[in-house]
Amino acid sequence: MDRRDAVRYYYDAIDAGDYDRLRDLLAPGFVQRRPDRTFDGRDRFVQFMREDRPRTDTEHVVEAVGVDDGDGVSTVFVEGRLRTADGDDLFGFVDVHRVGDAGIESLRTYTA
């Protein structure tokens, strides 16, 4: 799977509530760092997405994707916004994904 596609599938899986697919896209040692918290481990992150996130009636609107390929690991930059089912924008974001052979290894999220 192309690493850019893995990142696009990441957003699709969250928006569809397909948590098994989401888990499969993440490396076992996945870490997400965002302004309000850090999730260590893919299972903890998937559990939060499934059970604890404040809103599930949202869609990630991806506006731009860039890739920097390194030695065995790619950095995939995504600019977008989180939109409600009613079409209202909640906030803008920039996500920086590190993607290796085992899947998405880490994600740093910046929000506006």
Q: What is the pLDDT of residues 3-26, one digit of tens each?
A: 999 999 999 999 999 999 999 999
- Write the CA distances from 75 to 53, 97, 107, integer angstroms: 26, 6, 10
Only one residue has tokens 């309000």, namely: 36
Domains and CATH numbers, the chain: 3-111 (3.10.450.50)
pLDDT band for position 2 (50/70/90)? Answer: confident
Q: What is the pLDDT of residues 47-82, one digit of tens each?
A: 999 999 999 999 999 999 999 988 889 999 999 999
pLDDT of residue 1 exceeding 80, the answer is no
pLDDT of residue 98 exceeding 90, the answer is yes
pTM of the predicted model as reported, rounded to 2 decimal places: 0.93
Only one residue has tokens 């994600």, namely: 107
Mean pLDDT of the chain: 95
What pLDDT does 29 receive? 97
